[in-house]
Amino acid sequence: MTIKTLIEWADSTLNTAWGCTKVSAGCQNCYMFELSKMFNKDPTKPNPRKAQNIIADLNKYKNSKIIFVNSMTDTYHENFDFDLISSWFDIFISRPEQEFLILTKRINRAYNFHKKYQVPENCWIGTSIENKSALHRLEKLKRIKAKIRYVSFEPLLEDLGEINLNGIQWAIVGGESSRVLEPRPMKEVWAINIKNQCRKSKTAFFFKQMGGRIKHESGTWGSPYLQGEKYLEMPICLSTKTSVQK
């Protein structure tokens, strides 16, 4: 389904499938599993949607410039064969006026897929990194040829130390959030460390939220401020919400 979204850096979300399986620490409190209970869905059995339903959803949101793909699954999940993934990208190609943001923890499978299927010009490829154990995803992401490569450091669970963001156009940082589960805390200094390294590599920096169990008046979970400032940078100039180009 395509819906308007409260995600600060997107206009809407598009799900080509529903369901996923947990692969690392960042998945522990994933909101998709809680939402699945509400919709009486089995979250552990990824189920692709029909192509005509995906296209019908996109037709409803022709004015959405930035579309976050698969908030309820992982595009490169092992249950999806490469022919199916290709069919999704074929749909994205048919909408050159829109930007499709794909985010994955299965960066090795994404890398293998894009050896043969070139990343479309209007698709951004990103990976999630929550702790030092997940930093290996960064180097594999750099090996994928894409107009925009980005990293979502959310939920950020520890200080990552020195990281090399050269070749990464965009970084998003955020803490974990939930009213149902107990969100793990994020320290401001961890986010500051990433921000400082973004400055060195000229990577656009987007600070999403501190996280927690309380919603800020802006709609974010926890404060959207880092050291008293908002950082809403985007890697290219797009007229969406309040984001600005780095």
State whether residue 226 is helix, strand or coil.
strand
156: nearest Cα among 208, 216, 90, 98: 208
Pick the more confident residue, 4 or 130. Answer: 130
Number of other residues whose CB lies within 10 A of the CB of residue 144: 16
User: How remote is the C-alpha of 108 from its chain's centroid?
Assistant: 16
DSSP state of 186: -
What is the predicted pLDDT for the residue at 7? 72
CA distance 16 to 57: 10
pLDDT at residue 179 above 90?
Answer: no
pLDDT digits (tens, 9 = 90+) for 40-52: 889 889 999 999 9
What is the predicted pLDDT for the residue at 240? 52
Average pLDDT, the chain: 93
pLDDT digits (tens, 9 = 90+) for 118-133: 999 999 999 999 999 9
Name the residue with tokens 């930093």: 135
How is residue 132 written in tokens? 């030092």
Of the pLDDT bands very low, low, confident and very high (cuts 50, 70, 90), residue 62 is confident
CA distance 95 to 98: 6
Alpha carbon distance, N-terminus to C-terminus of the chain: 31
Of the pLDDT bands very low, low, confident and very high (cuts 50, 70, 90), residue 153 is very high
What is the predicted pLDDT for the residue at 103? 98
178: nearest Cα among 140, 222, 135: 222
pLDDT at residue 164 above 90?
Answer: yes
pLDDT at residue 39 above 90?
Answer: no
CATH number of 2-245: 3.20.20
Q: What average pLDDT score do residues 69-80 get?
A: 97
Of the pLDDT bands very low, low, confident and very high (cuts 50, 70, 90), residue 83 is very high
DSSP state of 194: H
Q: What average pLDDT score do residues 141-156 get?
A: 98
pLDDT at residue 186 above 60?
Answer: yes
What is the predicted pLDDT for the residue at 93? 98
What is the predicted pLDDT for the residue at 24? 97
Domain boundaries of the chain, sorted by first residue: 2-245
86: left (phi over 0), alpha (psi -120 to 50) or beta: alpha
What is the predicted pLDDT for the residue at 174? 97
pLDDT at residue 113 above 80?
Answer: yes
Backbone angles phi, psi at 100, to 5 degrees: -110, 125
Of the pLDDT bands very low, low, confident and very high (cuts 50, 70, 90), residue 9 is confident
Q: What average pLDDT score do residues 9-27 get?
A: 95
pLDDT at residue 244 above 80?
Answer: no
Of the pLDDT bands very low, low, confident and very high (cuts 50, 70, 90), residue 3 is low
